[in-house]
Structure 1
Amino acid sequence: MSKVAETVLEIDLGALRHNYEYLKSTLHPGTKFVAVVKAFAYGHDATKIAPFLEKLGVDYFAVAYTSEGIELREAGIQTPVLVLHPQSVHFDSLIDHSLEPCIYSDHIMSRFLEITNARGLRDYPIHLKFNTGLNRLGFGEDEAEKVFTVISGKHSVKVASIFSHLAAPEDPDEDRFTRSQINAFRRMTEMFENIAGYRPLLHQSNTSGILCHPEAQFDMVRSGIGLYGYGNDETKNRHLRPIGTLKTVISQIHRLEKGDSLGYNRAFIAEKPTLTATLPLGHADGIGRPYGNGKGYVRINGKYAPIIGNVCMDMIMVDITDIDCREGDEVVVYGKNPSAEEFAATAGTISYELITAISRRVKRVYIGG
């Protein structure tokens, strides 16, 4: 990896390829793959990540919102795009960009049917979402027969897939609950085939489901965090490579004497002579205030430097008293060591929150493609 002279998120496309190929290798033959690139591709820029994955042969992309799907189309993506959480106000734009909506409630279903009928569409692809226990989005099992009957009688749409979401597939203590979700999903999808007379694609597994419950692969799986190098389990993580390394540099070094304070609200008071380094990133870049006051750390020349004082909007300060370093030296915030999971854990959060929070003002640099 190259040395940097500013704050950058270095993204290894070779690692992305590795993760995709590893996840694919765990699937049954013929199982399709949905690459989840919502939230700016988990902070890595979907307009760069999706074209690379498209060349690798993913079958679908998934985003949260219509605007994210439009970004993919404007970036030249031709692969089908599933919009997981569309709002009815955006349905015309969604259709104009050939995006495929998740239909998860009576309101969303009736509004989308109104629009497709008014536009004279036929067999427009939709995806039915069912709630099997996550209790977040989706029709309930008690609504399945009514939904299937309504949809099967409409010519303006056709069900491309039926899907659900597992709540805790990585947790062996929740295996019984996971099995109940899988069984509920099977019951509903069998009902659809009996009513509609055809079988759409079925999918329920996220990354943890892929790695922990091969019996729940059905026709297709969805992976988000796994593509970016994390598997929600230490044993699974060994097979994955984090694709993002957040790097910065030392802007300035200060010497504090005993009793000197540092940063806003004088949150750090030196108990002995202390050397500190100021780094050019802060909570406006995605490193939130919870990481301050000794909770977070970075690596400088192979050694750990704890974050001291309050995190500022554009700067953090670290203790370098026992580290041989100079202004301009490179600093690793997270990557392979520490990983995003390890760094996030110091503030009591998870890798998802950390990597998706990295501001767009942080320069993205792509290697290994």
Structure 2
Amino acid sequence: MPKVQETVLEINLSALTHNYHYLKSKLQPETKFLAVVKAFAYGSDSVAIAKHLETLGVDYFAVAYTQEGVVLRDAGIRTPILVLHPQSLNADTLIDRCLEPSIYSARLLKDFIATAEKRGQTNYPVHIKFNTGLNRLGFGEQDIAGITEQLSATKAVQAKSIFSHLAASEDLTENDFTALQINRFKTFAETFKRLSGTTPWMHLCNTSGIINYSEAHFNMVRSGIGLYGFGNCDEEDANLQPIASLKSVISQIHEVEKGHSVGYNRAFTTSRKECIATIPIGHADGLSRIYGQKKGFVYINDQKAFIVGNVCMDMIMVNVTDINCQEGDEVIVFDAKYKANTLAESAATISYEILTALSQRIKRIIVGE
């Protein structure tokens, strides 16, 4: 790849293909694959990612909010889309755009059925979300009889699937709790099927669930972070390829005399004559202020350069005193070699956060296939 001349996010579709096929290799041939493309496909480009995954034969997509699904439909995506956290006011839009809601509360079930009936729908697909221990969204076991009664009383909607979400599938020290969730989900599913007289799909596993709990793959699995190149542990990270490379450029280099300060609030003071490089990326681009004061770093000519002072809105300053570099040189924030989770760990956070925080003002460049 040619050296960049501005801040860009390169999105590698060849790496996406690799990750998709690797995760698919963990499944039985009949198990369906749902790709999670919420939050701009984990900070990348939801349309480009969804279009490529369609060519690979993905079975379903999932987004968090209704508008994210609208964006995909406007871009020509025709694969079924599950909306994980819709609100009652979204019901008409969901139907207009053929988006399938997760139904996680009695209020939402009542409101969506009313809209679907008013709109003359027949067997509109919905997905019933159960809470098996994450305690975030979803129905409990005590709600099953009421849910099935409401579904049986209408022809407007039908349960396409029932699903839940694992709380700690990446942490094998929590194996007992995950096993409890799996068994609880099986119990909920059997009760739902018995009372409803239907056999909806079942899905429970996220990326780490795919890798660690093959007995819980059921009819479909859902993968988010794994598609983007992270397996939540070093062993699985080695089997995946990060699709995103965040790159920038040195705008200017200053020689700052000993005892002089750098940046807002004079947060860094030189201990000797030092070379400070300014780079056009800041907290408005998603590089949080927490990475200031030498917690964060970038790579210039394969050497680590620590951020000095506070992260500014549109730029950072890094110490390049002992690095052979010049203005215009490429800067790597993270890529397939210098991974985002390493940078995230320096600030006691996770790759998900740094990826999904990336501003949409950063230019996206599609590379690979």
Name the structure 2 match of 1:366.
366
**Paired amino acid for 1:299:** Y
CA contact (8 A) 1:295 1:307 kept: yes
Superposition deviation, residue 57 in structure 1 = 0.4
- The residue matched to 1:131 in structure 2 has which SS? coil
After superposition, give the CA deviation of every residue in 1:65-87 in whole Å (9 maximum; x if it has no partner): 11000000000000000000001
Tell me which residue corresponds to 1:64.
Answer: 64
**2: distance between equivalents of 1:114 and 1:203?**
26
Identity of aligned residues (%): 57
Counterpart-to-counterpart distance in 1, 2:36 and 2:45: 12
> Which residue is equivalent to 2:103?
103
Distance 1:44 1:2 in 2: 20
Q: Alpha-carbon deviations, 1:266-325, whole Å to 9, x = none?
A: 000001111110000100000010001100011000100000010000000000011000
Counterpart secondary structure, 1:255 = strand
Q: Which amino acid aligns with 1:121?
A: Q
Aligned to 1:225: 225
TM-score in terms of structure 2 length: 0.99
* Structure 1 position 259, deviation (Å): 0.3
Tell me by how many angstroms 1:242 deviates. 0.2
Secondary structure in structure 2 of the residue aligned to 1:190: helix
Q: What code does the residue aligned with 1:331 have?
A: V
User: Aligned letter for 2:342?
Assistant: E
Aligned counterpart, 2:123: 123
Q: Deviations over 1:117-174 (max 9, x none)?
A: 1111110000000000000000011212221222133211011100000000111111
Deviation at 1:51, TM superposition (A): 0.5
Aligned equivalent of 2:265: 265
1:310 maps to what in 2? 310
SS of 2:48's equivalent in the other structure is: helix
Separation of aligned partners in 2, 1:302 and 1:233: 24
Which sections of structure 2, spanning at least 5 residues, go unmatched?
none
* Aligned pairs for 1:204-215 within 5 A: 204-215=204-215
Give the drift of 1:209. Answer: 0.4
Q: Does 1:91 align with 2:91?
A: yes
Counterpart contact for 1:123–1:156, Cα < 8 Å: yes
Greater alpha carbon shift after TM alignment, 359-368 vs 186-195: 186-195
Give the corresponding residue for 1:323: 323
Q: What pairs up with 1:1-369 in 2 under 5 angstroms?
A: 1-369=1-369
User: SS of the counterpart of 2:33?
Assistant: strand
- Give the secondary structure class of the aligned counterpart of 2:333: strand
In structure 1, distance between residues paired with 2:362 and 2:121 = 42
What CA distance in whole angstroms lies between the structure 1 residues aligned with 2:309 and 2:86? Answer: 41
TM-score normalized by the length of structure 1: 0.99
- C-alpha RMSD of matched pairs (Å): 0.8
Query: Which shows bigger deviation, 188-197 or 51-60?
Result: 188-197
Of 189-198 and 340-349, more deviation after overlay is shown by: 189-198
SS of match in other structure, 2:211: helix
CA distance in 1, matches of 2:351, 2:324: 29
C-alpha displacement of 1:224: 0.4
Per-residue deviation, 1:336: 2.1
Aligned to 1:125, what secondary structure does the other structure show? Answer: strand
Residue 159 of structure 2: SS of its match in structure 1?
strand
Aligned residues: 369
Q: Distance in 2 between matches of 1:99 and 1:6?
A: 37
Query: Unmatched 5+ residue regions in structure 1?
Result: none
Letter in 1 for 2:99: L
Which secondary structure does the structure 2 equivalent of 1:138 belong to? coil
Say whether the 8 Å CA contact 1:152–1:195 is kept in structure 2: no
The runs of at least 4 consecutive aligned structure 1 residues that moved more than 6 Å come to none
SS in structure 2 of the partner of residue 327 of structure 1:
coil
Deviation at 1:338, TM superposition (A): 2.0
Aligned counterparts of 2:257 and 2:138: Cα–Cα separation in 1: 59
Q: Write the distance in 2 (CA, Å) between the matches of 1:58 and 1:367.
A: 20
TM-superposed CA distance for 1:348, in Å, is: 1.2
| Distance (Å, rounded) in 2 between the aligned partners of 1:323 and 1:253 | 12
